[in-house]
A and B are shown apart, each in its own frame.
Chain A
């Protein structure tokens, strides 16, 4: 008997929509091809900033001629005032590192509630530059740091100082002046817990909204700092950067394994994010009118996405090849649409499933969401979920066995006796608790492995349940949990996740072939980053907010079309003279 399709649990007036099956959607390889979409967190944030007309003002910009010093921005959002505090430091180039274990940075920042007075500023000055080694308090919402892109920053400053705009072709190679290497929130180092942000700061009461805003402000500061240094260096010739080029400057990001356990430790939240994305897609398939106008729109979006892919500069061969294939397939998509007399979106998705790669399939899905804001945007209120893993104590073992078979078939299908299937372990390093991968039997620390092997634990639980059922039928989950305390955690996870629409990510994270980078890309796509540039199977560089409005654009018309950013079409010669 075929497994019924999941249906969206998100309340809406459209009834329960059939969604794509979990076996397809939760497959880690597919999750590793997700692209940002209309409800990615940066997109939602920018809509709020622009539509609610937040006011972002520089309150202090106390930088020396080299750009070192302190800056404070005041942000009047729709529901409250916040301060963004920056400490810009000198950093020897050889100490510049993307690694979380670094202990010095070009820029350290924090986002605080309310105004910051002199006493608090002193406190922040003593602690924020220390990052993990410092201690801040519940007035702080986010703590972060960033390093200059050695390729871009000096070049841009030199050009501006000389009265020239930086060349777009060069900017396209990197696309940012600074790269963040960690963005902390949710109660770390004494900061406000998520509960506080959620309850008291409506402006940031969505997943990672405050963290994304901090990155937006780092980008803002990076542009202003570069201009400030250029002005100080050459007051007579320096020019401000052209706004179109500024918008094309994003903020870089380097993400490593630290992000991966989050997806495993917050399965209900991840399931909800996926459910929201799939619900958006289902709404479009069901109700999205496929008019001539929409076809034209899709064609233009396909062209834009293809250009975006063509402009990605990465040394990673696999990613380069993927981008090339996707770009070629997008042209096929375009031709296929052109040749259809009439189609609906369901037919397009069926065709994609049969003919094109995961990357292309998911890119098409992302583009479709851009075409129907009226069907999609309200779903942004459904991205939060109350997480709790409670046992269903009276559930009988027979029901638990059936549950595992129906929801965790993917885990039961893994052969844990096969070579390589249990060869990798994840552990936390003494260096800043950084998650790392080890090889079983080779690297030390196997006995301290992080409990991340969900698939294997499910298998263990299932085998034990079946064993118990051979002797007794009426045992409850609570009795089982007392008898086998080591299985209590996975048992309640199985029960809790059975109440979510999509359940756990389908992956064996202890397999020697595991690609953690797929976990990273999945989460980053929900953040809304672009230009994935994998540096290994363990970490990735990417770009945030490229193409997004600037703080100075707030109050102007907002088209909300900055996704899949492409090089702006500006006349650089003309821009030089205009800016002077």
Chain B
């Protein structure tokens, strides 16, 4: 994991992202990958977009309802999820409850590690997003280390765009639970279809600790190519910059 984290940092640095961004992205991907949540798949599937983006720009959008809405401008949540979550947490400390909607983002599963950070701050949190067929819900209680992740068939009247992500944070569990029930709709009376619960993730994490990770060589090559761009060509002169000749 340490090695993967270093490689990812250098790769994102090589792609032009700033220090805070590449630190966040590496942490998010390693967190997911080590828990069986395919963090590297997220990177692989969005690699062309990641490569073309130089830096990320999250901007505020005015919203009539008073809720905070941000435009991620086609950024990966692996890169911007942490800073947005920090914003939700700050607002929650002030008001007890806060919600932020992030538009035009991808790689939304990458929000899970940021939810764990919310919990480490003593806050309860939930994030939800959808694709064409399903709604995804991830929630975590304060002070727990790993969120649950649920997948629910999308309701017919759900018109929310498939490129947005909502994050809600609260200093009490009750509003989070109410929101989860409401989002689950018809499924709320029965047990929601769980995709991966925190225990599963913990088991996979333990296995990663013991045995390490296997990574697609092709992705390693792509990451390494990007990472190598932060390295400096060696010359006789440069060798003097490290010790004996």
B residues in contact (CB < 8 Å) with A:
1-3, 18-21, 23, 55-56, 58, 83-84, 86-87, 89-90, 93-94, 117, 120-121, 209-212, 228-234, 237-239, 241-244
- Asked whether B243 lies within 8 Å of A196 as measured between CB atoms, the reply is no
20 extra A-B contacts, CB within 8 A, seeds A99-B244, A438-B232, A451-B19: A99-B243, A138-B211, A195-B1, A195-B209, A257-B242, A428-B232, A436-B232, A436-B242, A437-B242, A444-B232, A445-B232, A445-B233, A448-B231, A478-B87, A481-B83, A482-B58, A482-B87, A488-B19, A489-B18, A539-B244
Question: Chain B residues with Cβ under 8 A from A481's Cβ?
Answer: 20, 83, 86
- Asked whether B3 lies within 8 Å of A436 as measured between CB atoms, the reply is no
Alpha-carbon separation in the docked complex, A438 to B233 (Å):
12
Known: A429-B231, A451-B19, A536-B244. A488 touches B238 (CB 8 A): no
Question: Chain A residues with Cβ under 8 A from B93's Cβ?
Answer: 393-394
- Asked whether B244 lies within 8 Å of A190 as measured between CB atoms, the reply is no
- Asked whether B241 lies within 8 Å of A485 as measured between CB atoms, the reply is no
A315 at the interface (CB under 8 A from B): no
Alpha-carbon separation in the docked complex, A190 to B90 (Å):
38
Alpha-carbon separation in the docked complex, A481 to B93 (Å):
17
- Asked whether B2 lies within 8 Å of A188 as measured between CB atoms, the reply is yes
21 A/B residue pairs, CB under 8 Å, sorted by A: A99-B244, A100-B242, A138-B210, A138-B212, A187-B1, A192-B212, A196-B210, A257-B242, A394-B94, A429-B234, A435-B242, A436-B238, A438-B241, A443-B241, A448-B231, A478-B90, A481-B20, A482-B87, A485-B20, A485-B83, A489-B18
- Asked whether B21 lies within 8 Å of A476 as measured between CB atoms, the reply is no
Alpha-carbon separation in the docked complex, A50 to B188 (Å):
61
- Asked whether A257 lies within 8 Å of B243 as measured between CB atoms, the reply is yes
Q: Give A445's nearest chain B residue, CB to CB.
A: B232
- Asked whether A193 lies within 8 Å of B234 as measured between CB atoms, the reply is no
Q: B98 → chain A, closest Cβ, in Å?
A: 11
Alpha-carbon separation in the docked complex, A261 to B1 (Å):
19
Question: Chain B residues with Cβ under 8 A from A502's Cβ?
Answer: none
Alpha-carbon separation in the docked complex, A99 to B94 (Å):
54
Instruction: Indicate the size class of the contact surface on chain A.
Output: 35 or more
Known: A256-B242, A485-B56. A199 touches B209 (CB 8 A): yes
Q: Please, what's the 1-or-0 string for A428-446, where 1 marks a CB less than 8 Å from any CB in chain B? A: 1111011111100001110
Contact for A196 among B84, B209, B233, CB less than 8 A: B209
A residues in contact (CB < 8 Å) with B:
97-101, 137-138, 186-190, 192-196, 199-200, 256-257, 389-391, 393-394, 427-431, 433-438, 443-445, 448, 451, 476-479, 481-482, 485-490, 492, 535-536, 538-539
Alpha-carbon separation in the docked complex, A231 to B147 (Å):
63
Q: Give A388's nearest chain B residue, CB to CB.
A: B120
- Asked whether A448 lies within 8 Å of B209 as measured between CB atoms, the reply is no
Q: B99 → chain A, closest Cβ, in Å?
A: 15
Q: Give A537's nearest chain B residue, CB to CB.
A: B243
Contact for B232 among A196, A427, A488, CB less than 8 A: A427
Question: Chain A residues with Cβ under 8 A from B90's Cβ?
Answer: 393-394, 476-479
Question: Chain A residues with Cβ under 8 A from B238's Cβ?
Answer: 429, 436, 438, 443-445
Known: A190-B3, A256-B243, A478-B87. A485 touches B211 (CB 8 A): no
Question: Chain A residues with Cβ under 8 A from B242's Cβ?
Answer: 99-100, 256-257, 429, 434-437, 538-539
Alpha-carbon separation in the docked complex, A200 to B212 (Å):
14
Known: A138-B212, A444-B233, A485-B55. A193 touches B18 (CB 8 A): no
Contact for B19 among A193, A199, A486, CB less than 8 A: A486
Question: Chain B residues with Cβ under 8 A from A391's Cβ?
Answer: 86
Q: B3 → chain A, closest Cβ, in Å?
A: 5
